[in-house]
Amino acid sequence: MKASEKTDALEIKALTFDVFGTVVDWRGSIIREGEAFGAARGLDVDWARFADQWRGGYGPSMNRVRKGELPWLNIDTLHRMILDDLLDEFKITELSEAEKDHLNRVWHRLTPWPDATSGLQRLRERFIVAPLSNGNIALLTNMAKHAGLPWDCILSSELAKHYKPDPEVYQTAADLLGLPPIQVMMVAAHPGDLLAASAVGFKTGFVPRPEEYGDQRNRDLEPDAFFDVVANDFNNLASQLGA
């Protein structure tokens, strides 16, 4: 049975997308912008390491919210807390508040993978397409405007005041779309996101992004029969889903 037949039968109405790593290349974007930022200020910084450590602080900071050590804080705020520590560690001093805020908002200006926008345009002809990211609504809205991502609406963990992979995030998204979870497909480069969505009843589309962490890092990105669809990019996903 072809994937298109399988998914036709599932009556998928909407696709929700993980964003950081799945739609946009956060690491490459931060390195590029960081290098330009540093060159203009004469900073000697390893921006790949800076990007990796910034992203590395993300899971632990969300866990502090999840465990109640911190109240609900959106990703802009968590990114800024991590950034302030990194600026100390990398000895980047004498930035103004406006410069720090601008640097923190690099996450609003991330660049899509080359196939993302064209694939979303195709998918949008047949399905509702929306991000379902731990990024906050303002971040995702600004990113979409900056990068030309053609979302039908912006969904976020912020609307559930829970971070993925908490089940509340996926259930809230389905409720807001007015759809039963089985009519929604979560699309992500991260198996954990898909497993959590599936536990709530979502269909799953796995799009591995082997370059997410650069050349150095080898990750288990093997297709898995668990996923309803496995695609090598968004245009291939569109073809498999008949869009």
**Which residues here bind its own copies, judged by CB under 8 A?**
76, 128, 130, 136-142, 144-145, 151-154, 158-159, 176-179
CA distance 6 to 73: 40
Strand 155-156 vs strand 14-17: parallel, antiparallel, or unpaired?
A: unpaired
Spell out the residues 6+ positions from residue 71 whose beta carbon is closer than 8 angstroms to its own.
Answer: 65
DSSP tag of 242: T
CA dist., res. 72 & res. 196, Å (int): 21
Measured from the Cβ of residue 155, the count of other Cβ atoms closer than 10 Å reads 25
Tokens 């990194």 -> residue: 86
Length of the chain: 243
Q: Name the residue among 93, 91, 61 with its Cα closest to residue 78.
A: 61
Closer to its own copies by Cβ: residue 104 or 191: 104
The least distance separating its own copies from the CB of residue 181, rounded to whole angstroms, comes to 14
Which of residues 121 and 236 has its CB atom nearest to its own copies in the complex?
121
Most distant CA atoms of the chain, gap in Å = 61
> With respect to its own copies, which residue has the nearer C-beta, 62 or 177?
177
CA distance 171 to 169: 6
CB of 24 to its own copies, least distance (A): 17
Q: Which is nearer to its own copies, 10 or 137 (CB)?
A: 137
Q: Which two tokens stand for residue 68?
A: 């109640």
Q: Please say which residue, 53 or 142, places its beta carbon nearer to its own copies.
A: 142
Provide, rounded to whole angstroms, the least separation between the CB of residue 203 and its own copies.
18
Please identify, using beta-carbon distances, which residue of 13 and 64 lies nearer to its own copies: 13
Cβ 124 to its own copies, closest distance in Å? 8
- Break the chain down into helix, strand, coil percent, rounded to 5: 50, 10, 35
Cβ nearer to its own copies, comparing 158 with 228: 158
The minimum distance between CB 94 and its own copies, in angstroms, equals 26
Q: In whole angstroms, how close is the CB of 159 to its own copies at the nearest point?
A: 6
User: What single-letter amino acid sits at 52?
Assistant: D
| Closest distance to its own copies from the beta carbon of 176 (Å) | 4
